[in-house]
Amino acid sequence: MKSQQNEPTKRFLSVSPEKCVGCSICEFACSLEKEDTLNPIKSRIRIIRGPPFIHLATTCRQCEDTPCIRACPKEALYQSEESGAILVEAEKCDGCNWCLEACAYGAIRYDKDADTVVICDLCEGEPKCKEMCPEEAIDFVAEESDIVKTWVTASKKWIDASEMLIKMTRGEGTADILAESKEIMERIDEKYLKLFGKEKKH
């Protein structure tokens, strides 16, 4: 375990809805790191796509009252005192999925192949999703209120985006949007090349 001195004991990953472009690279990076496969379905961070331009990613929030742990009839979940991460004892989990139902954030995934649930464990403090996100949208936070702040900022972006779309229907501002999109695509391509290059070595 890497040293986490001078950092809050408990912290979890937050994805800025203002920056996220819904590219799925975090999902690919997670599945490659944790399951040795490039398959978003196997990821512990998931993108929620809302029309027309809202992209959110969700992962474990490490709730204070841990409803997932309380819901598990097999005592297969516990919270790391060191990192605050909710950890799974796969051999105890029988796949009843009660913890999934207890999670308000949709952050727990049932892995059908392994017949166990999987939850973000923060990659020992160096999450691959955070490292690979082309928009630097993923970061550690310590409080739920930090997430609320990102939503407030994002709501302004969504208003701006609505105005942009209205302008586009009048044939205005299209060149600017395309130029910005091109830059985003270049950053995404760079990360995809890195990820798929890694997969080939396996």
Binding site for ligand SF4 (CB under 6 A): 15, 20-26, 47, 55, 57, 133, 135, 137-138
Q: Of 15 and 122, which has the nearer Cβ to ligand SF4?
A: 15
Residues 43, 13 contacting (CB under 8 angstroms): no
> How far apart are CB 29 and ligand SF4 at their closest, in Å?
7
User: CA distances (Å), 29 to each of 4, 9, 10, 13, 95, in order?
Assistant: 23, 25, 23, 15, 25
Q: Of 93 and 119, which has the nearer Cβ to ligand SF4?
A: 119
- DSSP run (H or E) holding 129: helix 128-132
Token code pair at residue 86 = 């909710």
Q: Of 9 and 155, which has the nearer Cβ to ligand SF4?
A: 155
> How far apart are CB 17 and ligand SF4 at their closest, in Å?
9
> How far apart are CB 53 and ligand SF4 at their closest, in Å?
12
Q: Of 107 and 133, which has the nearer Cβ to ligand SF4?
A: 133
> How far apart are CB 188 and ligand SF4 at their closest, in Å?
7
Q: Please classify residue 127 by burial: count the beta carbons closer than 10 Å to its beta carbon, then call 0-12 exposed, 13-18 middle and 19+ buried.
A: buried
Burial letters 14-38, b for 16+ CB under 10 A, else e: bbbbbbbbbbbbbbbbbbbbbbeeb
> How far apart are CB 156 and ligand SF4 at their closest, in Å?
18
Q: Of 51 and 73, which has the nearer Cβ to ligand SF4?
A: 51
Q: Of 26 and 77, which has the nearer Cβ to ligand SF4?
A: 26
> How far apart are CB 167 and ligand SF4 at their closest, in Å?
24
Torsion of CA 9, 4, 31, 153, to 10 degrees: 60
Q: Which residue has the tokens 């979890």?
A: 12
